[in-house]
Structure 1
Amino acid sequence: MPLGGRCAEPVETVACRAGSVRVLGVCTPIAKAGAPQPARGVPVAREPEPGELRFDRYVLSAGDPLYAQGAGCAPGGETMLTAGGELVGRTVADQDGRFETVVRFASFRPGHRQVVADCGVRLQAGVDMMLVSADSSVSVSSLLLLFCLAAGGLAVHQQAAPGRRRLPGLPAVAPSTAGRDG
């Protein structure tokens, strides 16, 4: 949507209660000093510092919701979030100059997207959009290769097998020469 255009009415997000912030879409208690670090790639559960724009995740797949949090804005001021000139979010900062809102991109383009929040001050941060393929189908050529390998292994086994088969548990017996004149 072009800047200056009007986006769809924002979805009301339930604000996280005091002492927690949204991480990967879930309200999570704020990490205390000295607490173990979360897994690599998972943002730390902390409130944004004044002048900082944070996201609840920094790598997106198609369909993932994205929440932005910011601090240091003009109290009660309108906050406009844009990415490459496209309006992606809009909200109002609270009395402490903090905000949280959903970010909606009009299209999903793999790569890095820089988001700017203008709320009396300019905050910015980036997210990476990645395509993830879930195609687990097996191709005809890979099945054909599997059967060829199995048939080749069986042929080699037959060539290397001894001339006589023996029953399990019985000792191997040399071919009999009985009845031959020698």
Structure 2
Amino acid sequence: MRSSVLLVAFAAGVTALAAAPALAQQQAVVTAAPQPATAGGPVTISWSGFVTCRGVGILFTLDGGPLTAAPSASSGSVNATVPAGTSPGSHKIEARSTNTKCGTGGTELRVVVAPPVTTAPPPPVTVPPTVPPVTVPPVTTRPPVVTTTTAPTTTTTTETPSSSATPSSTDALSSPTGEGVLLLDKENIQPGEDLTAMGTGCPKGATVRLQSLGQEVGSTVADDNGEFRSTLKFESIEPGRHKVRADCGITLVGNVDVTLSSSSGGTTGTLVVLLFFLLIGAAMVRRQFAGLRR
């Protein structure tokens, strides 16, 4: 009887522990506007209920594909562009912190395709009719004879040299003063698996070079907002934690863990704990039967 009570109490404790993280995650709220959004058009993603974590970013994806990124904050919003090739219908937007303890959430986004733009042809050009010129016959008259003495006139012309100045212009490369962040779309990868890097805070139009283990694994150019995205290609990589550096006038650093496939995990740990309590219960039942025999 006591062993049954212990097993029921243990099952209730395991259920409560499993339900606690789910309740914590329900506090995060993610919304997207406008609804519906147009393929190739803008969309604003807002979030709340997250936890602000230092050195952590939030990665936003559309149906699992990278969309944009933002530094970690308890709430806020970020602008993004819906990919032009997105099909009409309902799609899933997910906001995931690089440290999942800082917040994860998602929402639905309805997408429509903008109708084609039709241009009206220009109006026809009407040319007025040409009126032929009127020819007046010449009138012949006999001019009178006049004798005139004219003194020569001296004309002095002074030329003033003209000068023109060509203005000069200097283009300045502007760079944002905010804090930059480098995000990787996966925390763990297998050797040979693709990895996408996204970042903010680079100067406008700057060349971004991404390196890891002394080798260049990707390069791209920052857009007008100082944001960039690039797919990383590793020629050779070993299991373990590796740093990825992005240089664009400032240096941004991210970490990725390279692991070998493993199917064992939390399930094995749970079976060991259950087996431990079953053995304790069996021992207690055995002691009770031994006492009754005496």
Q: What TM-score does the superposition give when structure 2 sets the normalisation length?
A: 0.33
**1:124 maps to 2:124:** no
Residues 239, 257 of structure 2: 8 Å contact kept: yes
Which residue matches 2:84?
Answer: none
The structure having more radius of gyration, on CA atoms, is: 2
Higher RCO (CA-CA < 8 Å; seq separation 6+): 1
Match 2:225 to one of 96, 106, 128:
96
Residues 191, 239 of structure 2: 8 Å contact kept: no
Match 2:196 to one of 44, 47, 67:
67
Structure 1 residue runs without a partner (length 5+): 1-14, 135-182
Query: Which structure has more strand as a fraction of its residues?
Result: 2
Which residue matches 2:237?
Answer: 108
Q: Aligned-pair distance for 1:91?
A: 0.2
Q: Aligned-pair distance for 1:61?
A: 1.6
Could you report, residue by residue, the CA deviation over 1:159-182 in whole angstroms, capped at 9, with x for unpaired residues?
Answer: xxxxxxxxxxxxxxxxxxxxxxxx
Q: Aligned-pair distance for 1:129?
A: 0.2
Fraction of identical pairs, as percent? 32
The residue type equivalent to 1:126 in the other structure is: N
Residues 204, 222 of structure 2: 8 Å contact kept: yes
**1:26 maps to 2:155:** no
Structure 2 residue runs without a partner (length 5+): 1-39, 46-59, 77-93, 106-177, 264-294
Could you report, residue by residue, the CA deviation over 1:26-59 in whole angstroms, capped at 9, with x for unpaired residues?
Answer: 246989949x98699659679xx84110111111
Counterparts of 2:234 and 2:66 in 1: how far apart (Å)?
A: 22
Q: Aligned-pair distance for 1:82?
A: 0.3
Could you report, residue by residue, the CA deviation over 1:116-164 in whole angstroms, capped at 9, with x for unpaired residues?
Answer: 0001100001100001157xxxxxxxxxxxxxxxxxxxxxxxxxxxxxx
Residues 68, 198 of structure 2: 8 Å contact kept: no
Counterparts of 1:109 and 1:93 in 2: how far apart (Å)?
A: 30
Which residue matches 1:159?
Answer: none
Q: Aligned-pair distance for 1:74?
A: 1.0
Counterparts of 1:39 and 1:51 in 2: how far apart (Å)?
A: 16
Which residue matches 1:5?
Answer: none
Residues 25, 67 of structure 1: 8 Å contact kept: no
The residue type equivalent to 1:26 in the other structure is: G
Counterparts of 1:45 and 1:72 in 2: how far apart (Å)?
A: 23
Q: What TM-score does the superposition give when structure 1 sets the normalisation length?
A: 0.51
Distance 1:120 1:109, change over 3 A: same
Q: Aligned-pair distance for 1:108?
A: 2.9
Counterparts of 1:120 and 1:40 in 2: how far apart (Å)?
A: 24
Residues 1-182 of structure 1: pairs in structure 2 closer than 5 A = 18-19=43-44, 21-22=60-61, 25-27=64-66, 33=75, 50-133=179-262
Equivalent pairs, count: 117
Over aligned residues, Cα RMSD in angstroms? 4.0
Distance 1:81 1:24, change over 3 A: farther
Shifted more, 86-95 versus 57-66: the winner is: 57-66
